[in-house]
Each structure stands twice: as C-alpha cells, then as structure tokens.
Structure 1
C-alpha cells in the first residue's frame, strides 16, 4: 500500500509491503529519489537486564549512490562511516524515550539507504521510516514521532533543504517531536550554526512545528489502516513486600550517600550500600522458593527477575525518587549547589611544552585536556563514503579512557559515543575556525577526558577553544559549552539544572547541550528520557544556557583573552605562492622530477592547486623560503637580453643544455660558444658554470643562449 504526503513542495511517499515480511514492522520511505527501508524486530523473550536492550543501526549502501568503493581487495561496505554512526545515534536518541520502561525484550531497528539522489539527506527520512515501522508493528511504543530539518537562507526558514542549500545556510537544525494532548512536544534537537541568536533558534522551532504535526497525522492515518495490535508486555511482579523492607533497611542512609559533592565518595558509598542491601535481601529470602512462585502466581506473570536484579531495581527507583523529590520540593542538588550555579571552573593554556597548542578545562571533577596539532594542506583527512567523497581539514577526536571514571576496561577503538561526542565538538568549533585561504593548515584536536563527572563533551568545547587560541589559530571568538538538565514530575512540575553532573545526569529527564560564543549558538544537542519538552521549557533552557555560557567564557578569557600572536615554534610553517596556471607543469616537471627534487632538497611538502596556488610547508621557515625562491625562479618570466651564470646539465653533438634557473634550461648551440670548435666537450664539461645571455625565446617557450665573455 502506498501513502503520499506533500511536504514543502515535494512528495513524501511511504510504501507498506510484505517484502520484509518476517520483521515485526517495515516500510519504505521515499523523498525525491532518496529512498530508505526501515525494519524493526522484537525478541519473544525477556532479558534479565536492568536496561532496555535496544539496538539501532543505520546502514549506508554504496550502490545507493551508484558507487563501487572500499578496499581494492574487498570492494564492499565494512565498518560504518562516522556519518552513519551519527545517524544511528540520531535515530536512537529520538525513538528510545517512547518505549515503555518495563520493556526488557531485545529490540533492533535497522534503517538501510537503498537510493540516494545527491539532494536529500537520508537521515531525516530514515527516522520517519523507523517511526512508521515501529508504529505499525506490534511492538509497544508510544509514537509516532515526526522530524524535519530546518535551514535558513537570507533570514528565511526552509524545510528539508537540499545539500546545496545547506552549504549556503547559516543554520542546520534537526527537530523531532511527538504529539501529546494536541500539543507538539520537542523530543529531540540537533543543530549547528554560525553563532545563531537564541531567538532565531526559537523561531526555527516554531516554524517546524506545523510540519511535525502534519507528518504525525500522516503516520497516524497509516497506523489506522494497517497497524497491528500492540503486544501487551507483562508487568513485572510488583513485590511490595520487598520494596517496603528494602526502603526500611536503607532508611536515611541512601539520601545521605546521594547528597554529597565528591563523585568518588558518592559512588563508593552507593556501591557499598547496594551490596549490603542485596546481602540483606538474600539472607531474608534464602533461595526464594515458594515466595517467588507465589509472587508470580499472584501477579499472573510468567517472568520473574532474579532477587539481586529486583533489589537493584528497587535501589535505582529509590535513588531517582529521592533526587526528584529533593530537587523539585527543596531545590536541593546532590552537591549542594543552587539550581543555576556552575561548579568550580579552572583553565590552563600552553601546559604541554612541545605540542602546537594545548588547553585544560576543569569543571568540578570533569577535566578535559585538548591538544592541537597543525599540519600541511596535504595532511587532510580523505573522506570516502556513500554521501561524501572529499577532504576534511579540521578534525576533533574525543577519547574517554576507563581511568576517567575510575574503572578497569579493555582499551579498544573509538565507540559510537566517542565518535558522536567528537563530532559534536567539531560542529561547535568549525564556524569559528579561519578559512583555508586565511589559514592554510590542517588542524587536528584530540581531547583526552582525564576525569569525568558529567558533561565531558561540553568541557571539550572549552578546552579545545583554549588549545586553538594557544596555538595561535585566529578563531573568530572563543566558544564554551554547557549542559542544562531537567527534573520533572508527573504533575508537570519541573526544575532546570545548570551544569548537570552525576545523579542529575543519570536520573534526570533531559541533557540539553549548548555550545557557542558571546555572539550566539554554534551547536545544540538535546536528549530526553521523557516524551518531550514544551516550548516554554525550551525557551527557558536557552536563556539559562546563554547565562552560563557567558560565565564560562569570562573564566576562559581571564587565562587567555584571544589567540596568541604567533604560532608555536614547534609548529610547521606554511607559505603560499600564486603562479600562472600555465606554469604548473614546469613546477611539476617530467614525471614529477622537478617538484620531487625541490621536496628532497629543501625538506618540504608541496601542494599545488589547479588555480596555480602553491602551498609549501616545512618544520623550519628557512626551508619554506628556500623552496618558494626555487619555485619563483622556475616560474619567473625570462626575458631576452638577460644574463645568467648557468650550469651545464647535458652535452649533445650540437650544443649543451644550460640550467639558468632551477628547473629552467636553455640551449647553448655549438655555434654560440664564442669561438669555432669541433666538439662541445673541448670547451664545456657537465657541471661547469658559464656566463650565458638569452638571445631568443621561440613560440613554444624554448630558450636559446649565447656564451658571453
């Protein structure tokens, strides 16, 4: 069955078929000639876990773009690209809050891009497809959700802009929402922009909401016609007796353990208390036996988690209840701060002696160290994927080692979270980095999280800004990041928390990351654990975020008010030279002979553009200047009548080729040697330096010389 919706002048087409008939739900979504397939499957069995086992995978297919890529010996898709990982996380963060808390069946969502038209990004339509597939399936889920991308060109908002429009837009905002009681709640936001004022972000959200409503109504129509009846998940047996006894055992000790400022002490106290609680329960109900069977029978349930898991669940619920109660009723945070109070901030710049730039940003027990390296234009990252083939000159990589949380874990490659956080910081800083024309360097920043107690990605924005300025990169303005949290009860009462950490993050209802400068916002990422937030809360978050951002920037500017005037003495030096494009072949030489000679002789790297712009990079400026002078000599226009001290390079029967400038040779005919000779070798030998004059240059640029005495 086919369903169509006009969306911003283009047709959004949803096809429900039985092609993936063994999945719990599936659908094809097409917009333009971009088409995706979403499938959802839920296991029949409960898993004994204290979390919802959801997996979301976005799969790029090279055939969708008509490409054959990958290693020459493999020629197929392998590990997902960074862009695919970001899309997977985007879908996951949007759909996850709408699953019931009690669901413990393994669930997998796979979105596959089947066709890509080079105009419409599949990520938005992959999310719509995932929502539709979940909505029509038997899987319990309180969707549908809707999503749009919003751009801004010449102060005008655009829905689902093309790639070309996004290149010219100063805002790229992905907005997702869910309908509740006739209103659209904001479920997820991810945005990047060129220092966008808060009021423009609000305007974009208002602009997008009617489109979200339209897409939700469209999906509801499909569900009404083809949707399956939802499976009723058995409620886990409510062990009221156990809950009462566990709460009685904990008494006031749990609240005391939660509400302390030091994360390590809090973690140790809570872990010890939890172990003590489980031991008490196991002693109280040895082997459970008849008690467990009666509990299952009483609740008409076929599944009963183990006693330690039930005790752990009671423990976690009680922590969440106490955190919510204290914050909403008493405005009491675990570490004693006011609701809008930042943790203690510390900054340093230039703390590593041999790196090109470094910055340390500390906020409470969260500590981020960023290290910047400058490279030549040829050090860019090459991008090859379904959507992108190109180069990247500004990179940010994020490392989250196990010691940052006091844990012991194997160290492997970057995970989805590491890649996602790294890309978020990259988006936050990219609008501030000078263009390649202004600053012809490749820039790589690596952030090492030394200690973590919440909001490490936003700390990375600040530490990376310090590293950029320490390196002498002329960024427009420094940027800082902050996370705003939300605690909300069932009655709608809520409190916003500035600079969330520890239990506020884990047991809270929202993590709203905002990065930007004094002038405006450069990046936003919002995750919720509830259905969504109202526009009023959203507006308040932006206001709170701006206030905190300015406070952080003031602290940073005390340490380093702006970029250093000079690059680090250990950074490479790059100089540029513009030559006539017709002279490029002379710089390259036959088979690259000339350019390779310059590189080897001067110890430089050289990048030549088709426009005739040449970039020369080396560790020492003297080497760069030597290479530049060499290239200038090669490409300079030689005039008739000029005299040179040339070096004999080759001897032939009819004359000798004399190098008058590096890479430029002329012919000294035997008749122009100054006196009559039978053999050129009688007068000249290879390597001799002789005075010569340019007597003519023919139409092909060949130079004829005469020896001068």
Structure 2
C-alpha cells in the first residue's frame, strides 16, 4: 500500500492512503497504525432525500475476526450480529460526526468503518473515528472540518494521552473526547474505582479474631471519583491535543479532498402567516400545552390546537401548520427560559423534580428499587450470582475470553412514552444507556467475588431515564446488601443558548432535551464524577460554561443523594431470597482437613448447607456464598470447627481384602473409577470387571451404578479394585 500521509501524533504514528481502494465510494480512507489497519468509507445517495427534520446518517463499525487471526465465536463461523463493543463504537462515531452536517442535509449517508487488521495495543474506538473523519474530509461532500478523538488516562497520578491498552489497565480515568480544532463535540468519561483492598473493619471497637488468629478484615472499594476542577483541567489539555491533531489532519488531507458537489439542504421554511396567527390567537392554549409535562399529554394538546385552527382556517395545509405550531412552541419554551428564567413546568433552572423511592417491591427478586423522578420512572432489579454466572465475551484484540461480572441491562419499552411499539432486541440507544449506568456504578461497588446483574425497566420516561437507572441501580445494590464506596446518583443537564445569553438547566425533561442545545449526563458522588456523557448540538461549548454546568450538576447530585440516603435507611432486605456472602480466614494448615480425602468433606458441607465455597490455600481465605444467611452461618461454624479441631472430619482407612460398596464415578476405556466410602477413589480395571471377557466397560456398569468391590492392591496413593465374589 502506498501511503500518502504519515502523521506523528502523541504516542503514535498514523499513516493514511487515499484513492487506492473503495474508489466508487464518495470518500475512503485506509488507516494504518502499528499493525492495525482500518478502512473507512462514506457513501451518500445524491438522488434521494428524506423529507423529515433529521439527519439520515447511518454509521456501522464492523470488526472482522480475521483481523486478529481468529474464527468468529459460536456455531456460525462468519460475522453476524454486532457485538456490544461494535454497537457502542458505532454510536460514538455517529455522535461525534453528526454535528458536522449542516441543518437541512437530507441525503441518506452511510459511513462504514471496517477493522481489517488489529494490533493488541490498538485503541480501536479512537482509530475508528479518525478514519471515518478522514474519509468524510476527502469525500466530495462539502464538509471540510476534521473531527478526531483523543483518549486520556490517569496513571500514577499523571495524565497520559493516547495510552496503550496495557497502560489503560492501570488507569483510574477513561476519558474519550471528540472534537474539531476549536470545539469539543462529544465526551465519554469514566472514573475507575481502584481494586478492592482488605482493611481492618474500623467499625469494630474490638476486632473479631478468627480461627487463624487473624483480625477479621473486610473488603473495601476505594472511590476514585474525579473532582469537577480536575476534570476541567484534563479537558483543557485534551482540547489542546485535539487542536494540534486536527490542524495536522486538515493540512495533510487537503490535497486529497475531492471536488465537492452542491449540497441540497432541505430547509423547512416556516409559514410566517401561520406562525403569526398562532401567536396572536392561541398563545394561551400553547402555554397550557407546553405545561403538560408528559409527552403524550403535550402531543394531544398541540394536536387539539392544530385541529381547532384547521376549523378556523380550512384552506390551510395541515402539515405546514404543524411545523408552524412546533416552531412557535420551541421559541416560546426557549424565550421563557432565557428571559424569565422559568421552565415550562414552572421549575427554576436548577430545580430537581420531586423524587420518590421504594425498595424491594419485588419479593421474589434478590433486590429491587422503584425510582421515580417527575414523570420518569425506573424499576431496577438486582440479581446476584457466582463466577459461573458471569457473561463471557471476547473483544477482537483480547488474547482470550473475559468474564463480565458487573452488568447493567437497560430496557425502554414503548409504553414508557405512550407509544404502541413492539418490544424486541435492545437497540443502540438502550445499549448505550446501560453502558453509561454501568460505568457510573461499577467502580464504587464492592462485589466480593460475586456476579452482579442490574436490569432497568423504564416504566415511564420524560427525560433522563439513564440517570434514573443510575439512581435506581444504586438503591437496588444497597437493597441487595452490597457495599458501595460512595452513594452514586445521576442527573441530566441541558442548556438553552441564544447569542451570548445562555441558561443551564438541571434535571431536564423531554421537552427541554428536544428544544435545547445540550444533552449532558453526569453521575457521581457528592465529591466528584464517576461517569459522564455529553453531546453538543451547538457545535461546541466553552469550558467556563461547562465548568458552571458541572458544579450545578454537583449540587443536584448532592440533593438527590440526600433523598436516597434517607430511603436507604429504611431498606428491609429480602431475607428469604437474597443470597449472602461471607469472607473469613482459617489456618492454612487446616485446609486439607476442610477439603477432605478427594474433596469428600467440602462436598458434604456444600450439600448440607447449600453453599458454594472458594478457598485460597496459601492465605487460608475462605469465601462462602449461599442462598440464605442461616445456611451461611452453619457452613462457617462447621468449617471453623474443623479448622480448630472441634469437629473431626470422617477419615476412612482401607487394607487389602476389604470388601465395600461404592458408586461408579467415571467410565474410561480401560476401566471404571469408583468412589468408595470416605470420598476415596479407586480404579477397577476392565479385566477385573467380570470373570468372562469384556469388550466395553459400559456393557457391564454405568456411571452412577452401585458396585461391590474388593481392595486388591495399593500403588502409592492409588487403590486397585476387583469385583467382589
């Protein structure tokens, strides 16, 4: 490949080839960084346009398994359904590039990003956006603004830009920032909690001394919520990185840009006569309609106004009138906010809607929380499990499969907004909102080796259901008796701006999201931010304005957390269904007795008390997980009794000639393994199964059969068996 451009950027080198592949696309870029190769293409339908008020942009990010020398996982050995990572990356590219298109661009446009070769250390989300932006820049679409991405990490207290994946493993910050030379356009941020550490339980005046003679310890998750001031400082530095990178991109790509065709923007002209008539005759009705907070009620009110006007002006075009009413409504909402500093529902700019919280409303679930804020309601349900319940996954650049032990699944049924839509597979928005809530909560949760699944069912939505999921998720975790480093809440912020005038809105509802200029979700504790997501419709935001919005969001979080803590104090656990976990230590020298011969003792404990047991043989650490606390206490008492010598596990010793009855445990070609009383295993060879010739072991015995055998030989620790006569 003949590379036309090679750019030296912070901690990496990117090489681009233009005009050599995918030549029938409107634009194409072949990007190489290390051993990673990405092809991005842009195709626009120049003959068609969409007569709707939205940009018909589709972004697809696709990873090819061959890029890492792998076969696709699963039964079908070809790429099919996109993974969550592919879907989330498609969303990131879409949200970053969408602000570039002028208002009224109505031609369907498709951006495809394909990973053809993958380096284990590559940041595929950053490279995907860079490649897509390069393809758009050199295309014949009249857009000559470069948008690229930078990722920032915080490692040992230092900010690192464009870190490797190995470096990210030691980072307490994951900040993805997309923007042009002058403007930030999209932010994704997560403050990552440090690993669980074991510390002495400071709440105990007299620490409990366990059977190993050790003071009882408890796992603690240290919070790494980032302060607002520190985040602004990082964003300032990241913006400098973006300016430097985009200046280099635009200078290098300009010679390869195609001659642009004339964009045919469909600008919806508002009928001035209709708009003036609406203002003159139906302002009061429109104000009443705006004050209807629910989307369905508001739509009904606006539709009624339209029908009444059509009776008064039957000669008018109803579709044209609908646009005029919508335009007047939007200007009224914005003017009321900017001029009167009052919102459509009567709230002040920084006021949070009324909140109510109920916990453990589902007696059959492990834990649940019903969080309601205004007309947004989330039912968040917690399920706890063990390591086997984790979600297995493998990203393209992973060396092997990984286990996801903290999951947040967000569902948005149509009835939550009064729409009769079918419920199907989660869409991009649902995956994105669930991922945001996961990033907000995971770093503060002390899992104790458990697998955690939160499912958020949005029952009603009028703004910020993802942040209701964060708040409800925290309450569900606490209702499940899981420790949290900090109380975590989330709030959606908005902004309305005209010229130099602007207003920052706390806890926006759907109307303000639709008619506003900023969608800004921030989650965290009273001290700082754990996750953030921002999409900017203006084309950029000043850092001083962003700082003001961050601190206004902090005040709202503090208010919400106070309400949550008051509700947390009233939680009654679902004792009958909630599984429990216990961590304690024993003398490592007693582990062999706890396990027993061939695991007999530990199996008996598991069956008797209905628990799962994990043991660290070197440290003597024992972790119990059970369906109820009674069984957990019984198992712990029994194990500590064995460790102290108070309980003597059964020991069985055999000698030659003993005749015993055992159970066939496993069949192999040369014989059968038999479990004897005391948990000891022996082998009966195929030649000793019967007096006559035996072709197959399974012709004589089956797994699970009881069989009477004689001890015929000892070979070290192995016992040889014969068929008893």
TM-score under structure 2 normalisation? 0.79
Structure 1 unmatched runs, 5+: 286-306, 668-685, 689-697, 705-709
Hey, what does 1:673 align to over in structure 2? none
Matches within 5 A, 1:325-344: 325-344=335-354
TM-superposition CA deviations, 1:255-300 (whole Å, max 9, x none): 414531532432320233345557777x425xxxxxxxxxxxxxxx
Hey, what does 1:248 align to over in structure 2? 277
Q: Give 1:366 shift.
A: 1.0
Q: Give 1:603 shift.
A: 4.7
> 1:356 aligned to 2:387?
no
Matches within 5 A, 1:598-637: 603-605=610-612, 616-621=624-629
Q: Which of 271, 291, 299 pairs up with 2:303?
A: 271
Change (3 A) 1:631 1:20: farther
Hey, what does 1:401 align to over in structure 2? 413
Q: Which of 509, 512, 515 pairs up with 1:504?
A: 512
Hey, what does 2:203 align to over in structure 1? none
Hey, what does 2:329 align to over in structure 1? 319
Hey, what does 1:71 align to over in structure 2? 74
> 1:392 aligned to 2:392?
no
Hey, what does 2:255 align to over in structure 1? 225
The secondary structure found in structure 1 opposite 2:474 is helix
Hey, what does 2:453 align to over in structure 1? 444
> 1:199 aligned to 2:229?
yes
> 1:156 aligned to 2:158?
yes
Change (3 A) 1:329 1:624: closer
The secondary structure found in structure 2 opposite 1:17 is coil
TM-superposition CA deviations, 1:10-41 (whole Å, max 9, x none): 21222213311111111022222222211111
> 1:52 aligned to 2:55?
yes
TM-superposition CA deviations, 1:567-600 (whole Å, max 9, x none): 834222345688979999996998x999888766
Change (3 A) 1:580 1:381: farther
Indicate if the aligned counterparts of 2:417 and 2:461 stay in contact, CA closer than 8 A: yes
> 1:380 aligned to 2:412?
no
Hey, what does 1:526 align to over in structure 2? 534
Q: Give 1:470 shift.
A: 1.4
Indicate if the aligned counterparts of 1:99 and 1:140 stay in contact, CA closer than 8 A: no
Q: Which of 180, 183, 186 pairs up with 2:184?
A: 186
The secondary structure found in structure 1 opposite 2:431 is helix
TM-superposition CA deviations, 1:305-331 (whole Å, max 9, x none): xx6554444333333222222222222
Q: Give 1:355 shift.
A: 2.4
TM-score under structure 1 normalisation? 0.81
TM-superposition CA deviations, 1:220-253 (whole Å, max 9, x none): 123420112333223547756x332344146415
Between the aligned partners of 1:701 and 1:614, the Cα distance in structure 2 is 27
Q: Give 1:518 shift.
A: 1.3
> 1:214 aligned to 2:244?
yes
Q: Give 1:699 shift.
A: 11
Change (3 A) 1:236 1:153: closer
Q: Which of 156, 161, 174 pairs up with 2:176?
A: 174
Change (3 A) 1:474 1:187: same
Q: Give 1:647 shift.
A: 6.0
Between the aligned partners of 2:77 and 2:6, the Cα distance in structure 1 is 36
Structure 2 unmatched runs, 5+: 192-223, 663-674, 684-705, 709-713, 721-725
Matches within 5 A, 1:63-102: 63-72=66-75, 74-102=76-104
Between the aligned partners of 1:270 and 1:575, the Cα distance in structure 2 is 58
Q: Which of 568, 586, 603 pairs up with 2:575?
A: 568
Q: CA RMSD in A?
A: 3.8
Hey, what does 2:290 align to over in structure 1? 259
